[in-house]
Amino acid sequence: MPEDAARLAATLQAVAQTAQQAAPLVSSLETALRERVAEMRAFEFEERDAITTECKRAADALAKASDALAKLWSPLRDGLLAATTSRFVRDQIAEVSAGHEAES
């Protein structure tokens, strides 16, 4: 049981680290796409509207991803990691206790 709590804590820590590392990369990609859309406005070519539409759509999706990463990272940074691990251990102990009581 303690090893399960340790694995959970390590997994949550990895999620937090991944979110923290990915957030600036995703934000940079969004910014770069929006800049390219602005640059393309200076050119007239047949596919421009289709390309800029897809670039905007991708940039909007990246903005949503960036927001999601921030929402994921914040609670883990703010102590949710310890609280979740503690709750997990408490629930595991309760399950074991209930199983022992049922056997009695």
Q: Is the pLDDT reported for residue 8 higher than 90? A: no
pLDDT score recorded for residue 38: 95
Q: What average pLDDT score do residues 74-99 get?
A: 68
**Integer angstrom CA distances of residue 12 from 2, 35, 50, 88, 103:** 15, 35, 40, 12, 34
Number of domains comprising the chain: 1
Question: What is the Cα–Cα distance from 74 to 71, expressed in whole angstroms?
Answer: 6
Residue 62 · residue 26 · CB < 8 Å: yes
Give me the half-sphere count of Cα atoms (radius 13 Å) on the Cβ side of residue 63.
10
Residue 91 structural domain:
2-103
Q: 23-81: per-residue pLDDT in tens?
A: 899 999 999 999 999 999 999 999 999 999 999 999 999 999 998 888 877 766 666 66
Q: 34-44: per-residue pLDDT in tens?
A: 999 999 999 99
Give me the half-sphere count of Cα atoms (radius 13 Å) on the Cβ side of residue 37.
18
